[in-house]
Amino acid sequence: MPYWAPWVLLALVALLSIVHLAVPSTRAWVWKVLAGLGVAMIAGLLYLGLVWAPQEAFMSDVGRILYIHVPYVWACMLAFTVNVGAAIAYLFKKSWVTDAIAEASAEVGVYFGAIGVLQGSIWARPTWGVWWDWDPRLIATTVMLLSYVGYLTFRSFTEDAERRATWSAAAGILGYVSLPIVWFSVRWWNSLHQVQSNASTLDKPMRVVLTWGEATFFAFLFVFIYLRYRIARSRQTSALELPPIDAPTGATAS
Amino acid sequence: MTAPIRTPPGLLRSTWLVLRKDWLIEWRTRARLTALIFFALSTLLLFSFAMGPDITMLRVHAPGYLWLAILFASTLSLGESFRVESENQAMVGLVLAPVEPRAIFLGKVAGNTSLLFGLSLVLLPVSVALYDVDLSRNFGMLLLVLLLGCIGISAPGTVYSAISSNARARDVMLPLLLFPVLVPMLLAAVSATKFALVADPQQQLSSWVKLLTAFDLIYLSVGFLLFPRVVEED
């Protein structure tokens, strides 16, 4: 496989996402293309990650979790960044669209983050011999998840739509601000741990597969957020709009 | 002869007025402080029961118990500080007075900080009795750490408490939102307290105090910016 192929896929995913956002008339079908592309890329990722990529030197086959674990956690962080962007935009513009985006991205982010932590735990068992370790990244990610689970719970516990939007925007911003501080303090608190591996410590074929995985799950991230956003929007319309004026009275009363 | 136009008081003056109002409410009943003290005391006692009577172990873990007791008590204090405002729509009156929302934020933070700091001063002699800690080693630093930690709980706590005071199940919502954010503050405060109580060969105390100060400043400024948005809906 040519080494540039995953980058093309990543660019394609980004391009389709931008088209979706920029050209409203394409919104009916672009997400379907992205979803189809994502499914096809998962098939490719299974082959590339499980067969094509070389074994990791120290962890052997266990290290192959890298290709889905890292993209999942990155997708989670990207979703939370979208969330805080939407929260700030809501406080300035007071538009229901940004509130729906905030709700959608937080929920999708919690999904990606929870699965990511679960994968990390499965990886930790054969590698470190334990399911859980006081590793800074593990704790920081878990605290981040807890904070967004709190955010989502708060949303579902507040009745008034307008107050919910404002208050959860404030809660989202406060939670996001805490992420770097949590990360920094936990690392400082437990400074005995291994040096982290990053893209530059990876062999080239591994990096290629990792990029492929990122393209795959970013496509799904976009599709999930879009679909969840549509649900949030239709909930908003049903909650905010008055029933049609010609509707029979009996139907609205029931 | 026209009446002189009264200029609204400045930010610091209104902050002081909000703080004094809260202190006055507190002083007239003294219910909140009493409840806080006894809640925190029983928490400290329960920690000793849960861990067993091994005094060396209790002494080592004393900073953690102390801060957890303050943290648990803080949810009572923070929740109560906005519950009094929801009675008779007092918050609306306060905003319409008009008190600048940022002054309400600063006043509430100061009120909660003073209450928690008072509580921690009560807990110090108790932890000497229960856990046999040595306060005399670096008492000034210990007081500073306690004060910074109480600000660190109050600054984000005031915003979250204002947010959650009108939600359903608000008593659950406040800790659910607040505790994840307070993780850095708890780590820094417990470590700093530990190094103020026992020997600090590697001079780690000052770096934890710096982290605590940075946490306080970040949340004071974010809360200062966000709070007007939070209360304008009322």
Interface predicted TM-score (ipTM): 0.82
* Residue B86 falls inside a structural domain: yes
Q: From the CA of A139, how many Å to the nearest CA of chain B?
A: 10
Q: In this predicted structure, what is the pLDDT of residue B154?
A: 94
Domain map (residue ranges) of chain A = 5-193+204-236
pLDDT value at B203 more than 80? no
Q: Hey, is the C-beta of A186 within 8 angstroms of any chain B C-beta? A: yes
* Residue B88 falls inside a structural domain: yes
* pLDDT, tens only, B25-55: 888 888 888 888 999 999 998 888 888 778 8
CATH architecture, domain A5-193+204-236: Up-down Bundle (1.20)
Query: CA end-to-end span of chain A, whole Å?
Result: 61
In angstroms, rounded to a whole number, what is the distance separating the alpha carbons of residues A215 and B89?
52
* Residue B19 falls inside a structural domain: yes
* Residue B5 falls inside a structural domain: no
Q: What is the domain extent for residue B210?
A: 11-231
Q: From the CA of B38, how many Å to the nearest CA of chain A?
A: 28
* Residue B69 falls inside a structural domain: yes
Q: A4 Cβ partners below 8 Å, 6+ apart?
A: none
Contact (CB<8Å) B173/A154 = yes
Contact (CB<8Å) B177/A143 = no
Among candidates A147, A154, A163 on the partner chain, residue whose Cβ is nearest the Cβ of B233: A163
Q: In this predicted structure, what is the pLDDT of residue A253?
A: 41
Q: Which amino acid is at A242?
A: L
* pLDDT, tens only, A217-227: 888 898 899 89
pLDDT value at B129 more than 60? yes
pLDDT value at A232 more than 80? yes
pTM over cut 0.90: no
* Residue B206 falls inside a structural domain: yes
Q: In this predicted structure, what is the pLDDT of residue A197?
A: 54
pLDDT value at B167 more than 80? no
Give how many domains chain B has, as a whole number: 1
Beta bridge partners of residue A56, listed in sequence order = A60
Q: Which amino acid is at A154?
A: F
Q: In chain A, positions 131-170, which contact chain B (CB-CB < 8 Å)?
A: 143-144, 146-147, 149-151, 153-154, 157-160, 162-163, 166-167, 169-170
* Residue B4 falls inside a structural domain: no
Who wins on pLDDT, A187 or A32? Answer: A32
Q: In this predicted structure, what is the pLDDT of residue A87?
A: 93
pLDDT value at B2 more than 70? no
Q: Which of A164, A178, A186, A192 best tests the B interface by mutation, with the highest count of B CBs <10 A?
A: A178
* Residue B6 falls inside a structural domain: no
Q: In chain B, positions 183-212, which contact chain A (CB-CB < 8 Å)?
A: 183-184, 187-188, 191, 207, 211
Among candidates B168, B181, B211 on the partner chain, residue whose Cβ is nearest the Cβ of A175: B181
* pLDDT, tens only, A158-189: 888 888 888 899 999 998 988 888 877 877 77
Residues in chain A: 254
Closest CA relative to residue A13, chosen from A202, A165, A219, A225: A219
In angstroms, rounded to a whole number, what is the distance separating the alpha carbons of residues A116 and A138?
10
